[in-house]
Structure formats: structure tokens, C-alpha cells
Amino acid sequence: MLLQGYPNLEYVIIDGSSTDNSVEIIRKYEKWLAYWVSEPDKGQAHAINKGFREVTGEVLAWLNSDDEYCPKAFCFVARHFQGKPNMALLYGDCEMVDDNESIIGRIKGQHGDLTDLLIRDFIPQPSAFFHRQAWEAVGGGLDVSLHFALDYELWIRMMLKGTKLQYVPMSLSRFRWHNASKSRRDLARFGFDQLAILERLYQKQEDERLRKVKPHAYHECFKVIETGYLQGIEEGKDQEDEIVQMLMLWARHLEKHQEDYIQDARLWAESLYRIGHHYCFYGHMEQGRRFFSMALQVNKTAYKALLGWGISCMGVKLYRLYSKMRRTLFRFLLRLNCRFLPSYYNRHTGGILLSKLSKP
């Protein structure tokens, strides 16, 4: 981290009163730090906001504990900002590494606009750098009511303000994937954060472009929540009550916003199918078949709903076997890196490290 080969850096560390040896490590590097503090805070967003109030540079970024920047990343970022004065947000890819520093995957960014971002968060937070003016233009602070998707909400606010962004297809940071990562423990809560963000956004925005992607944006949020619960099940957690509550929430959402979903019968049917599938998996066969039937009414070519309805008539044991076989096939295709499979960003939290870049 310190050996970036860039001369004009400012490091600020905000530690939330860690009880391990974090303070000892911080003191070891104290002479390279512009500021550091170890004290209780009100969550990750509050800590980051507090840290940014101490920095003075033109280009800002934050990094969470265990994560790191790739070598020479700062030099590249500084040159890129210097050559494009109108650009305010730069981001690249992020490597996923294990505890042995071995690369096990890559979080890919992509080019896109606000409508694309609402459907998929394509900005890997550890690899994002933004100009101070863009930060100040949106109030100079992360939303402290959010604990998981706080970066996603920041990107949306910046893009609503017209922030110019640039994606570079290269790795700028490394994200450490381990059992304590928030993305392993709390992916469902990321989805609920994103859901809250969308609810607030669509209460305020009447832009026709945003309205057209509204069903897709909500659908992806519920898929993230769904995936989070499935991860918990695989780890042995009993989450049936939480899943049933989520299905009821999803069903109420579809009923409330059905006028928006009419424009895309396939997406509407897919949402109804997923609700029916989970009801059947947990033995609520009649309820599940009701949603399969609704999916077929919306889209007569929804073959998964038709197949699910038929297999559900044979009992819960056979339906669970069918579900297991489908997931096994999904994992096999995922190992082949099939491009049509959905992907979800993995995030991590911990102590906060902020960096400053200035023009060389």
C-alpha cells in the first residue's frame, strides 16, 4: 500500500476502537499517516465521512480493512485524472484474493449510465476514485442510515448530479474473500439496502428513462436478497421464516407495481416463478402452484413455471430433488464462466483507509 511509487499521497485511518492489535499496527506506520484515530463510531458510513473531513487532496478514495491497491495504481489514476479534466469518477476492476494472496476471481466493472447502474452495480468500490468536487456536489457524505450498499447509493447520487465517469479495464485493487466478509455473511442485507435506496429514488424521480428500468432494478434487488438467503441455507442456517417474509414482500411489490411490469411480461413471469419456486421448496405447494399459474397467465411461454407446477404436484421431496439438480447444473455452468449467468458484487467492511492523490 505504501510502496505505490507516487510522491504526493495522504493516508487517513479511522479505526472503530478495534480490540485486536490494529492500533499497534497503525502506530508502526504512524509517520506515514496524515491522521489516524481509534474510537467508537456509528457505523461504516459515519467512519468514512469522518475520515474524509480530514483529507485535503483533489482525488479521493476509501479502502476497507484487508483490501489493498494494486501496485502503481495511484500513478495510473493520477495521470488519468490529469488527462481528462471533465472526468470526476474513475473505476476499474477488482481482483478477489484468498487468505494466501492467490487470485480466485475478478469483480469486473463495465461502461454504463445511471439506468445501467440501477440494474447492476458495476462500480467496484475498492477500485473507485472520485474528484473532491463530485463528493462535495452531493453533500460530502455517505448515507449513515445504510450499512451495506452505501457506496451504491453514493454512485447514484453522483450520477444524478451529472458526474462524468470513466471505466478502465484493468485491476486497480484487491478484495480479500474470506468467511468474515460481509458479502458471505450478509448478502441478503445488501439487497434490502438496495431495495430501500430504490424506494426512495422512485418516490422522488419521475424521469422516463428511470421509470423504464424500474422493474429490472427491483427484480435484481430481490435476486440479491434471494441469493443471500440461499448462501445461508448452504451454510446450514435455518432461514425459512425470513424467506417466507421476503416472498410476501416480493408478492406485495409485484401487486403494487404491476403497471410497471406489464411492459415486460417475461420479467414479471420470472419474478412470479421465483416466488412460487421457494414456496414449493419449503412445502407450501398450494401457494407455490398459485404463483406458477400466475406466471403462466402473464407469459404463456414461461416453461420453468409450467415445469415447476407439474413437478410440485408430485410432492415436496421430488420438488426438492428437482431443485437440487437445477442448482448443480447452475454451479457447473458457473465454473465454465458462462457469460449469461448473473453475477453479484461482493463487498467487505472493516477499518477505513482513505487515500489522497494530487496531480504529479
pLDDT band at 154 (very low <50, low <70, confident <90, very high): very high
pLDDT score for 185: 67
Chain segment 303-333, per-residue pLDDT in tens: 999 999 999 999 999 999 998 888 888 777 6
Residue 321 CA, chain-centre distance (Å), reads: 31
Higher pLDDT, 327 or 164: 164
- Number of other residues whose CB lies within 10 A of the CB of residue 185: 14
> CATH assignment of 184-313?
1.25.40
Q: Domain spanning 9-178+352-357: which superfamily?
A: Spore Coat Polysaccharide Biosynthesis Protein SpsA; Chain A (3.90.550.10)
Q: Is 282 exposed, middle or buried (0-12, 13-18, 19+ CB in 10 A)?
A: middle
pLDDT band at 356 (very low <50, low <70, confident <90, very high): very low
pLDDT score for 358: 39
Mean pLDDT of the chain: 86
For 237, the grid coordinates are: 442456517
pLDDT score for 179: 60
For 322, the grid coordinates are: 428437482
pLDDT for residue 68 is more than 60:
yes
Mean pLDDT, residues 233-252: 89
pLDDT score for 64: 86
Secondary structure, 3-state, 292-321:
HHHHHHHCCCCHHHHHHHHHHCCCHHHHHH
Taking the domains of the chain in order of start, what are their residue ranges? 9-178+352-357, 184-313
Mean pLDDT, residues 105-134: 94
Mean pLDDT, residues 9-20: 83
Q: Give the integer Cα–Cα distance in Å for 50 and 142.
A: 10
Task: Please name the helix (run of DSSP H) or strand (run of DSSP E) that holds residue 140, with its range, or none.
Answer: none
Chain segment 253-307, per-residue pLDDT in tens: 999 999 999 989 999 999 999 999 999 999 999 999 999 999 999 999 999 999 9
Mean pLDDT, residues 115-121: 94
pTM of the model: 0.86
pLDDT score for 353: 39
DSSP helix/strand/coil, 72: coil
